[in-house]
């Protein structure tokens, strides 16, 4: 059976995250619903490269599904988009080898978190309105995150997750006008990890936490720590990277 890989963008504001829910709308649920229409009722499971939280967006989410269809690949993208709401778009579709897996084959994921520092309100659903930020101090903290760390302190505790070590290859704040962006790339991420890191770094610059306290949480990981979490709406899954033939 052919395996298809799709590149998706979505505004997560109206959704209860990626994963299918019993009663709430989800990105996965909308995609599977569109495929069910195209396949005349067949249940097709869509697997995502990662499970974005409620309210989180994606500039590039990657998913795969197996589907026996006579439809040519170039027609699948417009056919899916014709049955999806306007806040979810399939950008590309390709056939991939049967052993390709969007989650396990990924080598790097990158997120961007957007903070607005002025009083402009029209993008309030996709930014965290923080007020002025000290980007130099934020980057001092971001540098500490680089490399391999156990992020137990900066993630929602899940006893089923035994390995909480992630390797960070990018951690950087940048000032782009009245928007301050934080970009982070890693081999893997834990639940709420980016939002805890962003929230904690911002609160250090607001003097609600010290730099040494931040460092201690990073170097001496602890479970169920009371910590600062940035709101969901500023977070975007920016890109997912694969090796060689797994790339579009």
Contact predicate 88/7, CB 8 Å = no
DSSP letter string over 38-71?
Answer: HTTT-----EESS-PPTT-EEEEEEEEEE----S
3-state secondary structure of 182: strand
Residue 214 CA to residue 171 CA, distance in Å, equals: 15
Those residues with Cβ within 8 angstroms of residue 209's Cβ, 6 or more apart along the chain or in another chain: 200, 203, 228
Please give the distance of CA 14 from its chain centroid, rounded to a whole number: 16
Looking at 53, 92, 123, 246, which residue is catalytic? 53
End-to-end alpha-carbon separation of the chain, Å? 20
- DSSP lists the bridge partners of residue 170 as 185
Catalytic status, residue 53 = yes
Query: Which of the residues are catalytic?
Result: 53
């Amino acid at each position: 059976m052919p395996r298809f890989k799709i590149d998706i963008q979505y505004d997560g504001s109206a959704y209860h995250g990626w994963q299918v829910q019993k009663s709430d709308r989800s990105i996965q649920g909308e995609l599977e619903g569109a495929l069910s229409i195209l396949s005349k009722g067949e249940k097709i499971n869509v697997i995502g490269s990662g499970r974005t939280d409620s309210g989180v967006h994606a500039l590039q989410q990657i998913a795969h599904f197996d589907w026996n269809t006579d439809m040519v690949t170039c027609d699948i993208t417009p056919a899916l988009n014709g049955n999806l709401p306007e806040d979810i778009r399939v950008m590309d579709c390709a056939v991939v080898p049967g052993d390709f897996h969007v989650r396990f084959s990924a080598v790097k994921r990158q997120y961007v978190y957007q903070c607005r520092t002025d009083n402009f309100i029209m993008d309030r659903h996709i930014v965290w309105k923080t007020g002025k930020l000290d980007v130099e101090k934020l980057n001092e903290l971001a540098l500490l995150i680089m490399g391999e760390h156990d992020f137990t302190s900066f993630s929602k505790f899940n006893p089923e997750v035994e390995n909480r070590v992630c390797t960070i290859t990018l951690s950087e704040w940048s000032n782009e006008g009245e928007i301050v962006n934080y970009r982070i790339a890693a081999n893997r991420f834990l639940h709420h990890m980016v939002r805890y890191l962003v929230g904690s770094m911002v609160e250090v610059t607001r003097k609600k936490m010290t730099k040494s306290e931040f460092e201690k949480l990073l170097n001496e990981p602890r479970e169920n720590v009371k910590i600062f979490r940035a709101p969901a709406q500023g977070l975007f899954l920016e890109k997912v990277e694969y090796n060689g033939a797994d790339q579009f």
